[in-house]
Amino acid sequence: MTDRTLACHHTPGRGPTLIFLPGYASDMTGTKALAVEAWAKAHGRACLRFDYAGCGASPGRFEDYTLADWRDDALAAIDELVTGPVVLVGSSMGGWIILLAALARPDRVVGLVGIAAAPDFTSWGFTPEQKATLREHGRLEEASPYSDQPTVTTLAFWEAGERLRVMQPVIAIDCPVRLIHGQADPDVPWELSVNLANAIRSADVQTVLVKDGDHRLSRDADIGTLISTIEMLTP
């Protein structure tokens, strides 16, 4: 699938393998990824954390990669790093990539968990002025509320995102899906998860709304919600 080298941590155990997909400019050392791995280790479950190319401990320059590349990294993780069925857990942008992966590998993906999933954010997450800056300068640099480093978006990433939009009246995913979203999320509207749940073809779709939850959903109570959701999805 890809000749890129990806940093990863694999926990052996019984399946289906849980694979965590981070958000934009994030990596596999986040609170949620580590919590999923800790639960897996405690219960003898297989788990994989990995960094997209150019992110975290994986080699490469962040700005050289796009959503299509990171989608391919997720498919490579499914195809080359684990065997058997997988449950994909995706945060923010990772919630977009798990949908792309489920559409591409319906025979391998047996469950999805989205955390503040942000599919198609290239279409709704940028103002006309920001899009104009991308087209004129090829990149957009903004202060990040989550890091002391600015958030950089490239025109190549934005264009790849527009090509890979998934929000359709019917999204052809038939596995069980769980969507967790904070209603105090300042970055991704919680209504998006409700709309996503309605669009996914599977009959086994549940949405959990956390009234005071922010975008990260990394508080102890939020982590508890995530873990209990995974437990019920993978008995």
Give the residue numbers marked as catalytic. Answer: 92, 185, 215
Whether the Cβ atoms of residue 71 and residue 99 lie closer than 8 Å to each other: no
**Quick count: other Cβ atoms within 10 Å of Cβ 205?**
18
Phi first, then psi, for residue 128 (nearest 5°) are -55, -35
Burial class (CB in 10 A: 0-12, 13-18, 19+), 232: exposed
**Quick count: other Cβ atoms within 10 Å of Cβ 73?**
26
Helix (H, G, I), strand (E, B) or coil at 33: helix
CA distance 16 to 145: 35
